[in-house]
Structure formats: C-alpha cells, structure tokens
Chains A and B, each alone.
Chain A
Amino acid sequence: MSAPSTSLSISKRPPVSVKAAAVKWLARALLHLLLIVGSISMMLPFIWMVSSSLKNANELYAVPPIWIPQKWLWQNFVYMFEHAPWGIYFLNTTKITLIVIVGQLIVCSMGAYAFSRLNFKGRDALFFLILCTTMIPYHVTMIPTFKIMKSLDWINTHKALIVPALFSPFGIFLLRQFFLTITKELEQAAMIDGCSYPRIFWHVILPNAKPALTTLAIFIFMGTWNDFLAPLIYLNDDGLKTLTLGLASFQGTNTTQWNYMMAGALIVMLPILIVFAFAQRYFVEGITMSGMKE
C-alpha cells in the first residue's frame, strides 16, 4: 500500500525546487551529524575497553588517559586464553542461553496470549500477581530460592539456572503489551473461519509479533549471557562455569590486572554484539518516519 500512497503524496506537491532540495539535504546532514556525535559518545567506553585490553600496565593507568597504546599487546588476549578454559565456559553459557531463549519464548508467548487476548475469570489479577514478583528485591528471596534448588537436588547443575529463568514476568509483560496492539479484526476473521485458539495463537498472533519476539529474544540472550549472581550462587565446579563466572576469577582479592580483565570482558561481550547486529534484520526497515524530514 505504501508505494502508491507515496507517489500520491508527491504528486500532490509542487515540483521540488532546488532550494527545497538543498534544505532537505542540509537537514539530513545535520541529523547524521547529531547521530554520529551521539553514537561516538555511546561507543567511548567500548573503545576504551578495546584500547585497555591492548595496553601494558603503565599505559593503562596514565593520566590523562592514553587512548592508543604505543604497542598493541595482543598477548593480553593470549594470556587470557591460556589461563582459563574459555571453550568450556563458552559451551556452557551457549547451552544455557539457547535453552532459556527457546523455553522462555514458548512459556511467555503462551501466557501473554491468554493474558492479552482471551477473557477468563481472574485474568487481570493473575497477571498482576505475576508482575508483582518483579517488585521484590531478589536479595530477600535468594536464600528461600536456594532451598528449593537444594530440595530438587539441583545445586551445582545448570538446571538451577535454566528452569527458573523460563518463567519470566518481564517476558510475559513485554509480550502481553505487544499482543494487545494487534488488531482484533485478524483474530475475528480467523474465528469465523473456525480456527481454534491454538491455531489463532500460532497463525495470527505469533507471526504478527515478530518484532516483539525478537526484542524479547535479544533481552533474554543478554540477560542470560551476562547473568552473574545465579551462576555464582549455584555453581561450584570449574567445568560447569559460565563466561561471566570465569571472567570474575581474574579479579583478585585485593588487586586486579585490568588490561587482562578488559580483554576477558571483550571476549564475553562480543557474541552479544554480534547477535544484536544480526537480530536487527527482524526490525523491518522502518517506514514510519520516512517523511518526517521532508
């Protein structure tokens, strides 16, 4: 639909003058300038991480800060790789993260569908109850939760990290809000065709909620990948450790070699960056504001 209407809107306007084109070009350039400045300010700490990970100790602590090390010490990365089984950590983290993403998407999209599109008694109360669980700081629920894991005999296993993570109030709430925006007509049409609820869920709701599902997947990925406290509390064995836990063991009791730490932190965060960059394809190129600067 957008193509004809765009041409329509152009045809309604007087022919574009050279001056107007110049103004438009200038506005665009200005916007890009703003975005570039913003982006650089956003990237500073990341750039600092990269540069720190390649420094020696003397450069690392220099004041005012040195941004480009004289000699790039790639051996900092070599050191990190030699001093911890990153491969095992990576496999552990990947396994946990993948299962949590798939599982949480299933659990939360199902729940969110009922909470947003179906009518039943106690719907809003139950939803609010789920939401309430995020309002209690985990510091006070940590020990009781640990006791549950103990009684399930899940201490020092990945199950203690995976299973509770599937039931996310955040995920339910996020998807519910997005499911609410899907127009009723689609559903009603399917209804008239005699579609059952599971079929509507599968063929109408989910396909129309791709951006929301992608967003949730990114957040689950990020949250699980970076989770530190739960692995710390539940895991003891070196062979079960996750990346963040492995990284933390480079932090000494009293001193830390920050160049190594930063090299390690980069190793840990790179996958998230890559996943985010790729997942963006699912945010279909926006059309919304295409005309804003015109």
Chain B
Amino acid sequence: MNGAELLLRCLEAEGVEQIWGYPGGAIMPVYDALLDSPIRHYLTRHEQGAAFAAQGFARSTGDVGVCMATSGPGATNLVTGIADAYLDSVPLVAITGQVPRALIGTDAFQEVDMLGITLPIVKHSYLVSEPESLPQVVHQAFATARQGRPGPVVIDLPKDVALAEVTGQPQRRQAKTRHLRTRHPKTGHPEAPPSAEDPEPLDAAVLAKAAELLMTSQRPVIYAGGGVEKGSAVDALRSFVEITGIPVVHTLHGLGGVPSEHPLFLGMLGMHGTRAANHAVQECDLLVAIGVRFDDRATGKLSEFAPQARVIHLDIDAAELGKLRVPHAAVRGDLRLALGALGRSLAIEPWRQRCQDWIDRWQWRYDAPFEEVYAPGMLRQLSQQAPTGSFVVCDVGQHQMWVAQHWRFEHPRQHLTSGGLGTMGFGLPAAIGVQIAHPRATVINVTGDGSIMMNIQELATIRRYNLPVKIVVLDNSALGMVRQWQECFFSNRESEVDLSDNPNFADVARAFGIPGLEIERTQQVDGALELLLESRGPMLLHVRIDRQANVWPLVPAGANNSQMIEESQAVTATP
C-alpha cells in the first residue's frame, strides 16, 4: 500500500463517501488510488467549484466536506473556498498535492507554500512530512474541522509521501456525527442531543448571573445567529423561545432558527434587516446573543448598537465573548445545555405587544401592480410553493438580500449563503454539493447575472451527474448591489457595474444540455415557477428584472441601526 491508498482508507474511516476535486501532477497518486476506492469522486470544472460543492455538502448535512486539488494553481484555486469556510465556520477538509519533499522550498514547478498561504484562514493545517503520520494527521484534521466551532483544515501532501510504501492503519473509526443525531421532527434535519463531546461544564455563577438578567429584564430580545445551527441547538432555541416568550431577531445565518412564520419572529436585523427587528434591538434592555459574533453587517455602528441593553452572550467559542461587545454574562459552552438551563417564563407581555405592533406596522407588501417581475414577490411565491424540506442556495448581491428578507425559512440548514466572506460564485457549486447530499430534495439556487458568471462552468458538472438543481438567475443587467451603493452613496456615478451585454442565460444553459426558460413579465411567473418545480431534472430560469430595483430598507455603513433609509428617503450620503 502506498501513502495515497492509506490516505483514502483514512478518509473512509472518517466516514467520507464523496470528494469534490480536480486532478493534476502532484495529486496524481491519489487520483490513481481513487480508481480502487469506494469513495466517489465528483469532478468539478474549477477547483473553486470543488471547494464550494464540498461546502454545500457540509453546510447542508453538518458533516465534514472534502475537496481536493493539485499543487500550485490547483491549490490556490481552493483558497477562496477555504476562506469562505473559515468565516462561516464550515467543517471542510481540503487536500492538496505538493511537490516532493526534496523540492519543497526550491521554487519547483507548481510549488506554492499552501500551508503559509492558508495560515490565517484555517483552523489548522498540515504538511505531511512522514508517510507514517498520515493516519494521525487525517484523524486530527477531521476532529479539528468538526469539533467546537467548526472550520476548514488543509492537508498538504507531498507527491513522494503519496507514493511511499507504508504499513499504517487508519485510526479508530469515529461514528458519523450525522448518524448519531436525532432528527428534527418537522424538517427531518439532524439535531444532536447534548453529548460528552464538550465535557466542560457550564459556569454555574455565570448562569446564575444570566438568569438574574433575564428575570429583571422588561424588554428582552433574542439575537440568534449561525452558531445555533452549528451547535445543533435549533430545537433548544425553539424551546427557549416558547418557554420565555422573548421576541427573536436573526442574523443572515440564523434565519430559520425560529420559522419565519413564528409570531415572535421580528425578522433579520442589520443593514438590510426589517424595521421591526432593528427597532426592537435598539429599544431592548436585554440582548440574549446566541451563537453570534456581532458582525458589523448586523450591528451597524457598534457603539450605538442596542444602546440600552445589557448583554448575555452564549457561544461555544470563548474568543467570541467580549471580542466586540463585552457582555454582562458570558456563557461559554454547549448552547443546548445553556439554553436548557436558562429557560424560564417571563412576565413581558407589554413588550411582546409592542413588538407585535411593530411587526404589524411594517409588514412586507407584495401587491404592487408591476408589469415587470417584482423579485421579492417572486421569491416569496417560490418559497411558498417549494416542497417542505427544500434548500435555497444563494449567491451574493441584491438577490441574496431579497432571499433573506422574503423567503419562508423552515430551518437554518436549508438556507445556504456566503455570509462572512460574501463570495460571488458560491451558489451554483454549493447547490451541487447540497443536491448530492440530498438527492431527493428540491435544491434551488437563487443567483444574479454577475454571480452566476463566476462559476458558470459548473453547469457542466450539473449536466454530467444529472443533478436536478433548479437555477433562478435574477438578471438586472448589473452588479446590482454595487450599483445600488453607487446610486445611494456615490452620487449615482455608475462605475463598471453595467452588465447589459449579458448572454441569454437560458441559451447558455441549453448549450450545456440543461433546459432553460426566460421570463420578464409578472404574468409569466406562475407558469414558470410551476415548470421549474415540476421539472424532474435540472432547469435554469432566466428572470429579467428592473435594473433600478433596490434592496430596502438600508442602514448605511457606519450608521446605527435606527437610521434605516427607505426608497423614498434615498439621498446621496457618504458611505
């Protein structure tokens, strides 16, 4: 057995069933060994596509996703996907070929210092220096990627290590996390009970302090983010909300933590948040921050965020506690245990009523009599018509924010979006990973005319594996989000945002062997959505929308969250 074969056996021992990747010189021994391995390899058409497909798998299952590339350009093409996984805490193992050990540091052909390049964007990285260390390295890499706050790990494998004769055995197989998990009753999504994985008990004194803060609060708000789903704490959050009756706002990654239709749900907060959510946070006297990192897109001007609030911050990662806002009670540990310990009924009826009034006052409206397709309304309709358990995978831009605002979310794991890095091009390949992980689910990629072009080559991957991904391209003939900012904050001086020479994306899809449909009027929406959702295979729906449509409300960068502007108030301001 050589190192490459041992590597694949180690991956098997970690429960890996599929890998996304792209071959090349330094990784050839592993590609050779793949021919005799039960692990299924999916060839993407760009390494970035492989990293995002692996992320799609990881984000939608909670398991570790694996991607692979050769040294040099193959490895550097993975970097954006690795950084994206780091900022969104996605468990990913990236395996890269490396030049033989004797050539490392000699500027050899296709040599890059992958370990050095990725240092600030990984949880950990390994350059495998001895073939015998492979079992330990792979085992540790998977443990690191999935434990605590998940994240990416790089394994850089010199070609001679992959070719060396070895005798080792994979380390003890870990039971697959996803099989250990119980299923969420409504969505069928995995939800683990608290386990001995994080043996550290919660700090009793801090819990007592947090309980006191809860009991003395008149106007509490739950501010819940992506950490809830990462910590398998969606059920715990929902119980906590039912018991306490505290109104909830979500970050982009928290959406679905409580279902969109829940009476206590105020909406997403922050830059493109709802008025109700931002208002409640600015007015609250207690912020229960759960699995969040006080990201600037959520908080607006930090020193004026929730100005009257005391803060309870719950997180698995101690480094988040006090990083940006020093909490009055910092609860580090398993969110399920913490939420279980803190649940109690609160007498806050007047506050709940105020929040309800705000929800009622600032409802979204979808009744505008437009000839042209109104994207928010169409997305709302699509989310209502999509079967239960459907996934929506976004790209980055205005369309991403419209999804966040108008989609009907059931569970955070069904909403995949590049939040931290905000990477255009994420959506199409990520949808591939989701569809492979959930072959029978409806997977909808909502993308923009700018974003889809960043990884459009992955249409070939969809075709090759006949993945029934539904692609909705919202085409505003522009890099819309940038255009909107130029309109609002740069005196409407448009600079390099025009995409009016876009191809017909339905034709592009057809060229890849995927059915395509094009619409531009409201009256075509019903029929198009029906066709899209009923199609058995992949399909691309090209939707032409108004170039000038903007995302409202908007909190300008650097402003506080009560300074939201609406369409009617849009004036030139400084960013």
**A, B assembled together:** no
Interface residues of B (CB under 8 A from A): none
